[in-house]
Structure 1
Amino acid sequence: MKYFFLFFFFVIAFSVSAQQNYDIVWTSQSNNASASMPCGGGDIGMNVWVEKGDLFIYVARSGNFDENNALMKTGRIRMKLSPNPFTGTNFKQQLHLRQGYVAVQGENNGIKTEIKIWVDVFNPVAHIEVSSDKKINVETSYESWRYRDRVITNRENWGNSWKWGAPKNNVYKKDVIDYSGNAVLFYHHNSSETIFDAVVKQQGMESVKEQLYNPLKQLAFGGFFSGKNFIATGTDTGSYANTDFKAWKLKSKSAAKQHALQLALHNAQVNDIAEWKQSLDSLQQKVKADKTAFQKTQQWWKQFWSRSFIEIDPAKKELRSWEVGRNYQLFRYMLALNVKGAWPTKFNGGLLTVDPIYTDTINKGLTPDYRNWGGGLHTAQNQRLVYFPMIKAGDWDMLQPQLNFYLRLQKNAELRTKVYWNHAGACFTEQMENFGLPNFAEYGTKRPDYFDKGVEYNAWLEYEWDTVFEFCLMMLQEAEYTGKDISDKIPFIISCLQFFDEHYQLLAKQRGAKTFDGNGHLVLFPGSAAETFKMANNSVTTVAAMQTIIKQLLSTNLSAEQKQYVELLQKRVPPLSYQQFNAHTTIAPAKTWERINNVESPQLYPVFPWGIFGVGKPGLDIALNTWHYDTSVIKFRSHIGWKQDNIFAARLGLTEEAWRLTSLKLQNSERRFPAFWGPGFDWVPDHNWGGSGMIGLQEMLLQTDGQRMLLFPAWPKGKDVHFKLHAPMNTTVEAELKDGKLVKLIVLPEERKKDVEMMLK
């Protein structure tokens, strides 16, 4: 056994040491928060920067939802040293990528100082540690713009779940912030009534209100900012990026070479805030007693980086290709900041947003809590691009917050179906609150009385119910890749399928005497192919999803009753539809549709995510025709934001286009930190931009089809690459290509090497 562990740690050490040093190093200070550097871990994200000699840190934590369902910042930390080593010319700020922390160094007038900022991966605590070669004083403060009630501007309501439907003079209620001894205690405690109640009433769900999962009621979030040998020195006021704030200041009792501060955070739904305070105090005592937290966190980051990596042209840092490999790693690090999150990483900025004026200059006067498209609101087509890259990266722990999000909401989605249509199955909408109901504004604030209460009165979102299937696919792929028993998730997947089965039978019976079409298939009308092809009949996204989910589901361990139902449903799913462009057969977005409403290309969803067509699969010519000849596919092609044309190109073996689009996605952002892309269609940093870039790069290197593993199916000639990725059946593939030749191939377990097919062109 001891030899096994020695071998295990040798493999980890080798994999880590094989990677490039992708640390980000700045030798000058930043102009503002937009030029910040990400840091964090567990479920805490921080933006770190030094501006005019002061250290600043924005702190955010997964699950900080207020009454309006905005995702609120924890606050901002400011630190000033005296004498100040950051007022000289010798300055360095470094993201130690593999170790997961940020260090800021400065030297002035003979004083050398380093500040290390890191987060405990296993406990929600952020640490700020100051080390100096001479004694210095530290003055720090906890800054909050929520020290008072704030009437929310019309635009800022787009950062919560009211959007354009907010009541007049809607308010962000103030936090409770005060000194507790020589520390700062701060928290926000939601009232019993939140936007949840308004949504339930608006959508006619009062009859089952007490059965509905409600994550907002009396939610308390906040924490405790303290440091050994620090004392409270009073409050101050100021303004940053056009937003006023109040500061609660702490100062070191005396000058010293070492100083340490901690920010301990806690979230819980409690009737009595005293219960929340007691749990926060227990967390603090636990942290004080643990002297090995940094070592444990370092061990976690070490094993994280050993799981997988991609590095390109390692000896050619001047090339964009090297930049692309580096930025892939940087973005994967950003995703890892929420590995322990109770809630998924949001596509529209994750935990790393800053003052909105630095993202969109038209949004003046908005607070740092703002992000476009909501905080507790989740948009499935964007979220899936954040989470699909975790599969080939082997980041199964990071995937769980998104899967658990849906599992928690199953009952609410089934109650929704029961109330509106009195049949079974879970109905999930595309834009959905963290309690499983449609967004207040997107549901329709000016709905006709006659309109079906279960359907959003919305040109973009009506009848778009099939996006949940991509998360069902993630659940099935976790079993396929790891062998994990997903019997606890099977009822969820079947419930999602059952909704479509029973609902479209119901609609058919309302229209006429026959339940199925002439071939015994469901008539999936009205439906939607993404947000683009509306009022669709047999949408390609729905048909491809159901075909694929059912096929994979039948390969799992179903009960006899489950298997009988799924096999019956398989016979009811209609075939894909096709159309002609210049005498070329292409995949159609649906059998019929009434209008085009957005700029997506669902015609290629059977390529990704559903994998029906692709390299080495039947019908590749039809999928290629769709790419080359479908006029809307050509018109909508882009690398911006959530566009996934780079993934389509990789899956189709279109090497030149796959590289062009993926390298555009993963090139340096317009901001100081290379992976802070956006806003695109959403916000900064745009996580579905980075996620789609990651997926495209992975698919260029490794594609799978059952047991088959296609190596370099869309890799450009002349680019060196070294990667390690995951494949089904608990398999990892590490390969290195140098000067056009394969110089390393390690497949574990070794018996899977026979399933590798070399696709180099």
Structure 2
Amino acid sequence: MRTLILQLALLLQGSMATAQYSQNYDITWTTPGENAGASMPCGGGDIGMNIWVEKGDLLVYVARSGSLDENNGLMKTGRLRIKLSPNPFTGKEFRQQLHLREGYVTVAGQANGVRASIIIWADVMQPVAHFQITANKPVAVEAAYENWRYQNRTVAARENFGNSWKWAAPKNNIVRKDSITFTREGVLFYHHNTAKTIFDSTVIQQGLTAVKDSLYNPLRYLAFGGSFYGKGFEAAGTYNGIYANTDFRGWQLRSTRNASRHELTLALATLQTEDLGAWQQQLYKLMATANKNMVHQNREWWQEFWNRSFIETTQQSTWELGRNYQLFRYMLACNANGYWPTKFNGGLFTVDPVYTDTTMMLTPDYRNWGGGLHTAQNQRLVHFPMIKSGDWDLMQPQLNFYLRLLPTAELRSKVYWNHGGACFTEQMENYGLPDFAEYGQKRPDYFDKGVEYNAWLEYEWDTVLEFCLMMLEQERYTGKNIKDYIPFIESCLRFFDEHYQYLAKRRGRHALDDKGKLILYPGSAAETYKMAYNATSTIAALQTISSRLLELPAGYLSEAQKQQWMAFRNRIPDINYTSQYGAVTIAPARSWERINNVESPQLYPVYPWGLFGIGKPGLDTALNTWQKDTNVIRFRSHAGWKQDNIWAARLGLRQEAFALTARKLAAGPQRFPAFWGPGFDWLPDHNWGGSAMIGFQEMLLQTDDKRILLFPGWPADKDVHFKLHAPYNTTVEATLKDGKVTKLVVLPKERQKDVQILLN
């Protein structure tokens, strides 16, 4: 069996150079799993797979980014089942391994006189997954494509929380059945959305029918699916069954002869078209190239990915932190080429919800908080760590998501208030409008149609500014020309300038306060301090984004634009302060009416906005806020999207930062250690993992324009080796051992003068 694994590993590895981190962070299991909850992730490009062996069968859930039905649910591609005969996976010798550096999984076993291995990998370059079977003697193979959407399915009330209807679904809402059939090649399956989807209901609900044709609609006639097939396989009929609590139908393929080598392929296609023939043509074109040797290109991609950055820990007490950081970064990389961004509530790796919550007897398509619905505060935590890890390709789907929706956001401002600027809401559909349920069904006639009638979400406009920061950071970190982002950033700022002057004029004679500042009321400090007057998180965001816009290199802004944004910068209110236990602290807002959630936006000026921090004025005030603000203390936690570990790192609180980050990066509740959650959202909780990554990075490396601070929040007695990215095309690789920096490589070399080592 070991020889077979070695042969398969060599097939993928070739002469690949060893990645720069030295630890073996592969995950290896020597016993099969009991169910989908004990699965292992594998993926690439925009395909995610959950792999496990149950009762001798290899089972694989497959998901592809953008598989969205009429309800805007993110649907699984289906479940694959592979069985060998004689079966090598029913004996005492078993091994399932995630080969982390090369991005593939092997399952190997010995029983019944057969030693065999299956290698599973997704092609980063095209939407194809491969299943390569090798045995020491000829075996027969049965393979099946299983689907629970083989018939129209009435959606259980709770299951609508996995799509965009949530609690406001129409009575007897259904998921329309997929089309599935045998073909000469194997099994063909697809879902083709109708012309009418939840998009149409949302447009009517929100009073946008007059501009409907100008709105982005990604759901109309969307076709997604693919083909599961293999050379030397034939159709072998269908069967029905139940997995977990969900009935399904399987379309079975059977090898036409016993052989020591078999290969099965899954090719996937997605196209928005009324003509299903166009989708089929795309699929068959893909299938024509799917089995060409792409191993070398994939090997090179993973090698480059792991050489970009890493964090490894070598001591027994900290080893798990480095491993789980690498595992989660791998999970993010499985959507590097997606059209749609990685979702915070499970990404591509959700399974039957009963393995997350035993009370939820729902289908494998379920996830909490929607499929096509995006919650900005959660999404940003998934993508911010990509800056220091240098994973700008992974971030592009998220940035492009916002760019596509700019016209819709500007239309909202025009239709509802007749002013300029882009109005982006906190919970927003992939077509740019507020969620149907969150918008509110029992809205008073007098209520502003541009505002969500929702206690958590009302007047929360500012989260888009964090994605503006990502855009600006891309220029500062990589030097990439971001001229295409400038209209977007300007439009987001223009909304706040024009909207809050518009609201002030509706209340009274003056558009600004007595100091010539904007009156940011009503507003919201995250989802927590509601009906806020001059929310500090909003003020810090506007100050940072306008300043960064003005700091761009020559050529980005005309002189007139500079004057415009300098004037706007002067209209932004000042940060709010208060006093607690005799100390000055940052206030969440000038005033607010109620506390609605458990966030600490008074620390947003520390992160993400960087107005307070190590070596900056006001650090003592930020520390007072951490130490004495009763709500900051009350809300402190490591779970889910909590950012306390990040703030502790930014404030130089080494022990607190380490303790919180270590709790975040401790193994999760499932067999695979980086499947955290459900936290406040779902499992695997990607904003749990993202906030853990950010805190880990910030303990090791912080930047302030050209300043590079090393180990500002890291305990000196913890050994670590890392490579991370800094602004101006800079990488920093450092090793800390026994309290001393034993290796420091800064590229380009001239940037080494900007490095400050902070170990004491």
Tell whether 2:56 aligns with 1:60.
no
Using the TM superposition, give the Cα deviation of residue 274 of structure 1 relative to its aligned residue in structure 2, in angstroms. Answer: 0.8
Change (3 A) 1:17 1:602: closer
- What are the residue-to-residue correspondences of 1:630-641 with 2, within 5 Å? 630-641=629-640
Distance 2:622 2:717 in 1: 27
- 2:645·2:695 contact (CA, 8 Å) conserved in 1? yes
TM-score (norm 1): 0.97
Partner residue of 2:341? 344
- What are the residue-to-residue correspondences of 1:327-366 with 2, within 5 Å? 327-364=324-361, 366=362
Tell whether 2:502 aligns with 1:506.
yes
Deviations 1:263-286 (A, max 9, x none): 000001011101110111111112
Distance 2:632 2:569 in 1: 29
Partner residue of 1:309? 310
Partner residue of 2:217? 214
Partner residue of 1:418? 414
Partner residue of 2:587? 588
Tell whether 2:434 aligns with 1:438.
yes
Name the SS for the 1:404 alignment partner. Answer: helix
Distance 1:715 1:441 in 2: 44
- 2:20·2:307 contact (CA, 8 Å) conserved in 1? no
Distance 1:714 1:69 in 2: 42
Partner residue of 2:12? none
Distance 1:674 1:605 in 2: 30
Deviations 1:312-357 (A, max 9, x none): 1x2x34x2x1001100000000000000000000000000000000
- 2:376·2:427 contact (CA, 8 Å) conserved in 1? yes
Distance 1:392 1:564 in 2: 32
Q: Amino acid of the residue matched to residue 752 of structure 1?
A: R
Distance 2:278 2:88 in 1: 42
Name the SS for the 1:680 alignment partner. Answer: coil
Q: Amino acid of the residue matched to residue 407 of structure 2?
A: K
Partner residue of 2:661? 662
Deviations 1:131-188 (A, max 9, x none): 1111001001000000000000110000000000000000000000001124100000
- What are the residue-to-residue correspondences of 1:139-178 with 2, within 5 Å? 139-178=142-181
- 1:15·1:306 contact (CA, 8 Å) conserved in 2? no
Deviations 1:1-23 (A, max 9, x none): xxxxxxxxxxx977714431100
Using the TM superposition, give the Cα deviation of residue 562 of structure 1 relative to its aligned residue in structure 2, in angstroms. Answer: 2.0
Name the SS for the 1:39 alignment partner. Answer: strand
Distance 1:748 1:205 in 2: 52
Distance 1:13 1:546 in 2: 46
Distance 2:192 2:712 in 1: 53
Change (3 A) 1:52 1:14: closer
- 2:16·2:299 contact (CA, 8 Å) conserved in 1? no
Tell whether 2:186 aligns with 1:190.
no
Distance 1:17 1:660 in 2: 27
2:45 aligns with one of 42, 51, 65 = 42
Q: Amino acid of the residue matched to residue 702 of structure 2?
A: Q
Distance 2:290 2:598 in 1: 50
Distance 1:270 1:671 in 2: 39
Distance 1:13 1:86 in 2: 30
Distance 1:374 1:250 in 2: 34
**Structure 2: gaps of 5 or more residues:** 1-14
Distance 1:295 1:131 in 2: 20
- 1:98·1:305 contact (CA, 8 Å) conserved in 2? yes
Name the SS for the 1:192 alignment partner. Answer: coil
Tell whether 2:32 aligns with 1:33.
no
Name the SS for the 2:432 alignment partner. Answer: coil
RMSD: 0.9
**Structure 1: gaps of 5 or more residues:** 1-11
- What are the residue-to-residue correspondences of 1:708-719 with 2, within 5 Å? 708-719=707-718
Name the SS for the 1:461 alignment partner. Answer: coil
Q: Amino acid of the residue matched to residue 401 of structure 2?
A: F
Distance 1:325 1:22 in 2: 8
- 1:19·1:309 contact (CA, 8 Å) conserved in 2? no
Change (3 A) 1:13 1:77: closer
- What are the residue-to-residue correspondences of 1:446-457 with 2, within 5 Å? 446-457=442-453
Change (3 A) 1:646 1:228: same
1:264 aligns with one of 258, 267, 271 = 267
Name the SS for the 1:64 alignment partner. Answer: coil
- 1:130·1:258 contact (CA, 8 Å) conserved in 2? yes
Name the SS for the 2:412 alignment partner. Answer: helix
Using the TM superposition, give the Cα deviation of residue 564 of structure 1 relative to its aligned residue in structure 2, in angstroms. Answer: 2.0
Name the SS for the 1:722 alignment partner. Answer: strand
- What are the residue-to-residue correspondences of 1:349-748 with 2, within 5 Å? 349-364=346-361, 366-556=362-552, 557-748=556-747
Q: Paired residues, what number?
A: 743
Name the SS for the 2:65 alignment partner. Answer: strand
Name the SS for the 1:658 alignment partner. Answer: helix
Using the TM superposition, give the Cα deviation of residue 586 of structure 1 relative to its aligned residue in structure 2, in angstroms. Answer: 0.4
Using the TM superposition, give the Cα deviation of residue 39 of structure 1 relative to its aligned residue in structure 2, in angstroms. Answer: 0.1
- 1:86·1:108 contact (CA, 8 Å) conserved in 2? yes
Partner residue of 2:104? 101
Q: Amino acid of the residue matched to residue 90 of structure 2?
A: T
Partner residue of 1:294? 295
Name the SS for the 2:642 alignment partner. Answer: coil
Distance 1:273 1:638 in 2: 50
- 1:165·1:440 contact (CA, 8 Å) conserved in 2? yes
Using the TM superposition, give the Cα deviation of residue 630 of structure 1 relative to its aligned residue in structure 2, in angstroms. Answer: 0.4
2:74 aligns with one of 51, 66, 71 = 71
Distance 2:563 2:125 in 1: 43
Deviations 1:632-678 (A, max 9, x none): 00000000000000000000000010000000000111110000000
- 1:522·1:573 contact (CA, 8 Å) conserved in 2? yes
Distance 1:494 1:616 in 2: 30
Distance 1:655 1:737 in 2: 15
- 2:20·2:306 contact (CA, 8 Å) conserved in 1? no
Using the TM superposition, give the Cα deviation of residue 721 of structure 1 relative to its aligned residue in structure 2, in angstroms. Answer: 0.3
Q: Amino acid of the residue matched to residue 361 of structure 1?
A: T
Q: Amino acid of the residue matched to residue 504 of structure 1?
A: Y
Deviations 1:410-444 (A, max 9, x none): 00000011000000000000000000000000000
- 1:121·1:297 contact (CA, 8 Å) conserved in 2? yes
Identical amino acids, percent of aligned pairs: 66
- 1:732·1:747 contact (CA, 8 Å) conserved in 2? yes
Distance 2:185 2:610 in 1: 59
Q: Amino acid of the residue matched to residue 208 of structure 1?
A: V
Distance 2:432 2:18 in 1: 41
- 1:187·1:222 contact (CA, 8 Å) conserved in 2? yes
Name the SS for the 2:108 alignment partner. Answer: strand
Distance 1:712 1:13 in 2: 32
Name the SS for the 1:693 alignment partner. Answer: helix
- 1:463·1:528 contact (CA, 8 Å) conserved in 2? yes
- 1:710·1:758 contact (CA, 8 Å) conserved in 2? yes
Distance 2:27 2:567 in 1: 55
Deviations 1:289-323 (A, max 9, x none): x22x11211110011000000011x2x34x2x100
- 2:21·2:311 contact (CA, 8 Å) conserved in 1? no
TM-score (norm 2): 0.97
Deviations 1:524-565 (A, max 9, x none): 000000000000011111100000001110111212232221
Name the SS for the 2:156 alignment partner. Answer: coil
Partner residue of 1:4? none
Partner residue of 2:4? none
Using the TM superposition, give the Cα deviation of residue 691 of structure 1 relative to its aligned residue in structure 2, in angstroms. Answer: 0.3
Distance 2:17 2:89 in 1: 37
